[in-house]
Structure 1
Amino acid sequence: MTRYKTYRIKRQAVLSEEEGSMMNSAIILLSTIIQLIHCASYPDVKSLLSNISEFTLSEDGKLNFTQLVTKYGHTAEQYEVVTEDGYLVKLFHIPGIRSSVLLTHGLGTDADPYVIRGNGSLGIALADEGYDVWLLNNRGTKFSRRHTELDPDKDKKFWDYSLHEMGYYDLAATIDFVLYQTGEEKILAIGHSQGASQFFALTSLRPEYNEKVKLFLALAPGAFFFNMPPLFQIVASAGPLLLELGKTLGIEELCKDRGALLFLIKTICTKGIISYEVCVRAAIFPFLGYNPAGFELSFLRTLFGHAPSGFSRKCLEHYDQLYLRKKFAQFDYGFRGNLGKYGSRNPPDYALSKITADVAIMSGKLDTLSLIENGKILKSKLPNVVHFEEIEKTTHIDFVLSREASKYLFPSIFRLLQKYD
């Protein structure tokens, strides 16, 4: 609790009395929801919602990754990659004749969003252009809940990871696997949000991986969080208390596949216009950016057949720390924990100056999470940014989910890839 008190002082310095009142109300509401969901089992929640028909999905919402890829004209392969610390992460492959492109996903998702728009999805569009497409599913997602020794349903240690481990281990093992399978010396890579964070963590700590990537495209990268909107500040400032509550309740896995919370989300969010108002306008747009043109009502019944996907409580805690400390740094274990792990009072910053790979940064003009200004700060700290672009009519999730991505985003991506192909 010592760390929380330190953050509380910082929060009071930036929030008005009205915002503080809103934050306290949010804490009470979210705390109650956490406790109710934690205490409820899947059958309990299903019984509670028995008067509401179960979630209704579209055809694409019911198809799995392989079936979607097949439907849109390609074949898909699956592999399991074993990391140095014993996690088994699933890797999807859509074979092609051009250079290999590795896609990494954001927090709370997996590889699915890269294909659920069909031919308007980045993964399928890359395959249509002949690229050899590989898609990582980080540890903890519905595809990667396996370990050589740990049981995710019994061992809390399984969930002791954040973006750091997903970069240092998951991404490293995946890059090595793709290079081995293809015989290539370097690959192209694209990371959205957390996928960009883990790439920067990896290449700053293990410089040899810079030599294995021709070009990295960072889409809405999550590294710095300065000058965030008031609503984000309120929720993030309440984060330490809420996350500590989750830890006290023994909640280490969030959005467990086939869990009570996920069933509740899918049920609430696939009911038509009311679902759109609750799940999109009230829960997604305020935090990630407002663009109803890219996120239509009918898409809910596809999206919530595939998302969200599981992740650890520690992932959220790490991002909360990045906001509160205003540094792109390793996980903060508190004064004593840091001394034991790092030999210093504070966690070390990721040395972005050591990232020698060519990097392209794309920020959305409507993104309220990965702000353009913060993308520019990231650009100033990386030595080899070969391209920086502000993408029109694009929110944080539009990079992977918008029906307009092929119009505003894909042309820039393909122009860049072609230069390095």
Structure 2
Amino acid sequence: MMHVVQRDTEADEAIKLIAPKGYPAERHKVLTRDGFVLTNFRIPHGRSGPGGKAMPGSGADRQPVLLIHGISLSSTCWVINDIDESLAFILADEGYDVWMMNTRGNTFSREHAEYEDNNPRFWQFSWDDFAHGDLPATIAYIKSTTNAKKVHVLGHSQGGTAGLAYLSRKPEAAKDIGVLLAVAPVVYAKYLESPTLVAFSYQANEYLFVSGPMQAVFLGGLCQVPSLIPVCTASTESMFGGSLKYWKVWPSPTSYYNALHWGQIFNEPEPKFMAFNYGPEYDLTKIKAPVVLFTAGRDVLAAPKDMSLVRERLASGGSLAGVHETESFGHMDYIW
């Protein structure tokens, strides 16, 4: 029997970030092939209504765009700002059908067909499983629901990582993806400068920042206490670098294995984009779908040296469709 604790309440809170601003909000449950139940959210059209502005369809009334959050985040990162500063709202008003994925184990995706979320087996996953389980299941669900021929995918940080891993291991999936927008994707992780993640990678201790109990402490109001705000700010900046702070929605849980996966990649003698537990490398030159790469000059996670390798290998394989560089941005500025 599935162990569900306040899931509907949490989903309602996510809906409240969307509906009061004048947008339609839907929740959709997607079952992965290995039994995880993902609660994803959808904004099918903008404030002008279903008959309003729509981009030219690809077999559907509106082109679907799937937004994938990064590590320790959730779909709320796309709707937490004002209307003109939240990507999901901007895309909806531009005529797109906007979908927001929640990867397994985060705030909204804590259900499984067999395991309760307090069972250690529930947490035996890394971002490999986001790439080869959550992403293809969600794309198939969107295509089936909308009758679209293709889905555009935009992934930030680990969300972009998952997209690149999926397309490099399964090049034929290009038939399902219009374009992959990889926004500050963490790939080789050899030159990351985040003090928190560097320390974890060397020590391989429990990754408290993204555990369920730690999330509850932060989201329960710890960082709304004036005297503690400097501590919370320092914690965020040690992980992501300088950026704005959004303590109402950060952090969202993930697994220890997921963090350990990054530790393995960081500790490799040479830059390697590899599967969990020292599995085979992902070959970016095999990607067939067009990829647009977004990089930030002050990024401490998707560091410029790592991004130069990504750019080089995508270009070598012929999939690099464009590069956008913002020198003044840090890792989270694309989102927040």
Does residue 1:171 correspond to 2:135, yes or no?
yes
Note the residue ranges of structure 1 that are not aligned, 5 or more in a row: 1-60, 333-345, 402-421
Describe the SS at the equivalent of 2:216.
helix
1:363 maps to amino acid = T
For 2:11 and 2:228, the matched residues in 1 are separated by 18
Measure how far apart 1:92 and its partner are: 0.7
Describe the SS at the equivalent of 1:64.
helix
Number of the residue aligned with 1:255? 211
How is 1:239-278 mapped onto 2 (pairs within 5 angstroms)?
239-240=203-204, 242-243=205-206, 254-256=210-212, 259=213, 261-266=214-219, 267-272=221-226, 274-278=227-231
Q: Decide whether aligned partners of structure 1 residues 233 and 74 sit closer, same or farther in structure 2, where only a CA change above 3 A counts.
A: closer
2:224 maps to amino acid = T
Measure how far apart 1:138 and its partner are: 0.5
| Aligned residue among 296, 301, 308 for 2:251 | 308
Which structure's residues are more often helix, by fraction?
A: 1
Measure how far apart 1:230 and its partner are: 8.1
Measure how far apart 1:365 and its partner are: 1.6
The CA RMSD over aligned residues, in Å, is 2.2
CA contact (8 A) 2:201 2:260 kept: no
Q: Decide whether aligned partners of structure 1 residues 63 and 81 sit closer, same or farther in structure 2, where only a CA change above 3 A counts.
A: closer
1:313 maps to amino acid = Y
For 1:192 and 1:365, the matched residues in 2 are separated by 15
1:331 maps to amino acid = F
| Aligned residue among 95, 114, 127 for 2:44 | 95
Measure how far apart 1:227 and its partner are: 3.1
| Aligned residue among 165, 169, 172 for 1:205 | 169
CA contact (8 A) 1:239 1:317 kept: no
How is 1:21-32 mapped onto 2 (pairs within 5 angstroms)?
none
How is 1:201-240 mapped onto 2 (pairs within 5 angstroms)?
201-229=165-193, 231=195, 234-240=198-204
Measure how far apart 1:118 and its partner are: 2.6
For 1:191 and 1:133, the matched residues in 2 are separated by 13
CA displacement 1:66-123 (0-9 Å, x = unmatched) = 1221122211111101111111111111012431110001011110010000311111
Q: Decide whether aligned partners of structure 1 residues 331 and 74 sit closer, same or farther in structure 2, where only a CA change above 3 A counts.
A: same
Aligned residues: 305
For 1:80 and 1:362, the matched residues in 2 are separated by 30
Does residue 1:112 correspond to 2:76, yes or no?
yes
Aligned-residue sequence identity (percent) comes to: 29
Number of the residue aligned with 2:240? 288
2:33 maps to amino acid = E
Larger radius of gyration: 1
Number of the residue aligned with 1:125? 90
| Aligned residue among 307, 313, 316 for 1:381 | 313
Measure how far apart 1:233 and its partner are: 7.5
2:225 maps to amino acid = K
Describe the SS at the equivalent of 2:29.
strand
Measure how far apart 1:289 and its partner are: 2.2
Measure how far apart 1:329 and its partner are: 0.2
- TM-score norm. by structure 1 comes to 0.68
Measure how far apart 1:234 and its partner are: 4.8
CA displacement 1:276-296 (0-9 Å, x = unmatched) = 32111x2122332224xxx2x
Number of the residue aligned with 1:143? 108
Describe the SS at the equivalent of 1:311.
coil
Number of the residue aligned with 2:325? 390
